[in-house]
Structure 1
Amino acid sequence: MTKRVLHVVTNVGHYDDPSHATGLWLSELTHAWHVFEEHGYEQKLVSPAGGAVPLEPRALKFPNYDRTAKAWRADPAKTALLENTASPDGIDPSEYDAIYFTGGHAVMYDFPGSEGLQHITREIYERGGIVSSVCHGYCGLLDTRLSDGSHLIAGRRMTGFAWTEEVLARVDKLVPYNAEERAKQRGALYEKAVLPFVSHVVTDGNLVTGQNPVSAKATAKKVVEAVEGAAAKKRG
């Protein structure tokens, strides 16, 4: 049967200070989409509020603006996907093998408080599906609890955009909170690469997380491995 992946994207277009724009870090979506497409997966976009998705301006500049991102913006059908995303209440979690939270600083605002996304994530996770995120996407996992009331990420090895990287990116004064610290407060066994801004992916059972934008492709590949592994386990 065809595997299905649900991509989570943001509806937020700026920091607390409206003069500083943010949004989806496009390559974090396009790199993963390309990997899943190569494996024949069906893919769908969902956002906390449904509807349009703003793009992070810095992600549209060299070297962040690469071939897959340019190809997406040159394709009217693909750009239309970002203009009319589904809302969580229109999603049946049982139809998806994996959920993939994209990043961009915008997600720090609208991912954590979405009960709809938390419900979808919990349903996928508890029936053995794959929960994954890249960069700031892990903010969507910070407040997600399992049916027993525990945090999904508690006691789990994981990664995501590091505070060191926030400082080096000069946005530490703009972001609403320290996501790395918050994940640790939830009991996550947070890990990061020795050097900032290099690809780093952590897999812990059916939780797959990537540290930063350049980790998106590797994260998606690990998600495919995990999905196939879960499918083989069910067959066995």
Structure 2
Amino acid sequence: MTGRVPGRPAGSRTALLVLTSNGVLGDTGRSTGAYASEVAESWRTFASAGYRVEVASIQGGRPPLEAVDTGDPAQQALFADEAMTAALASTLPVREVDPTAYQIVFTAGGHGAIWDLPYDEALAALLRDAYENDAVIAAVCHGPAAFLGTRLSNGEYLVAGRNVACFTNDEERAVGMTSVVPFLLADELVERGAKHDAAGPFLPHVVVDGRLVTGQNPASTELVAEQAIAVATASPA
């Protein structure tokens, strides 16, 4: 089964990791993808809490990863896990995902996310339907780019009037990406009515607003996953 991890008990809670399928930084020719530590740390946190973890990407198949570090313990654990390695090799396309099957939908970042997450109608529908089915919607770093195209059934943006965190303008400047990315994510979220909440550059920072949980940067990943679990635990199963 593509994108699915076998061998977990039936009836256990399930988290979905959503990854970018974009592997190129605009017209630069430089590689990008989903940020590997965000994938690994979110997976490890969810799995440690007893969640079954499944993986989807915009196009399905094997998604590109950036900043792979084989010396990172979380990534070592991820790539040593045979079930997750198989799931990452053949992720579910988001258009095939059942939005009612998950208690948590977590969108990882990485600069690749800027180029495809905001524009994918199937992803927007998945996030809308999962949220309206009482799932926790979580994202970290550039993952909140997925919210730019996500409207609820009432026509309002998912983030309208909500407190959110994401990779900040200062952080984009610090990594030399302001002239590469097509837009600054924090500014675009504010355009959709979000209230951007930021900490200092590269500090862990998580914002919880009801069933919307967002984090600022890769250092925030575990905290986002932990808070998503806490919110889901407090919600009906």
Query: Normalising by structure 1, what TM-score?
Result: 0.92
What corresponds to 2:132 in structure 1?
Answer: 126
Question: Distance between the aligned counterparts of 2:114 and 2:88, measured in 1?
Answer: 19
Task: Map 1:45-194 onto structure 2 (within 5 A).
Answer: 45-56=55-66, 59-61=67-69, 66-193=72-199
> Is 1:227 aligned to 2:237, yes or no?
no
Of 169, 184, 206, the match for 1:201: 206
Of stretches 118-127 and 201-210 in structure 1, the one that deviates more from structure 2 is: 118-127
- Encode CA deviations 1:26-67: one digit per residue, 9 max, x unaligned: 1101111111111111111111111111111xx2259xx621
- Give the letter for the 1:90 counterpart: E
Q: How far did residue 70 of structure 1 move?
A: 2.5
Q: How far did residue 24 of structure 1 move?
A: 1.1
What corresponds to 2:217 in structure 1?
Answer: 212
Question: Distance between the aligned counterparts of 2:101 and 2:81, measured in 1?
Answer: 27
Of 11, 17, 22, the match for 2:32: 22
- Encode CA deviations 1:183-226: one digit per residue, 9 max, x unaligned: 00000011110x20010000000000010001000000000000
- Runs of 4+ aligned structure 1 residues displaced above 6 Å come to none
Of 14, 23, 34, the match for 1:4: 14
Preserved CA contact (<8 Å) 2:18 2:55 = yes
1:60 counterpart SS class: coil
Question: Distance between the aligned counterparts of 1:40 and 1:77, measured in 2?
Answer: 15
Q: What's the % identity of the aligned pairs?
A: 36
> In the superposition, relative to structure 1, how do residues 32 and 61 fare at CA in structure 2: closer, same or farther (>3 Å)?
closer
Structure 2, gaps ≥5 residues long: 1-10
Q: How many residues align?
A: 227
> In the superposition, relative to structure 1, how do residues 18 and 83 fare at CA in structure 2: closer, same or farther (>3 Å)?
farther
Question: Distance between the aligned counterparts of 1:173 and 1:79, measured in 2?
Answer: 34
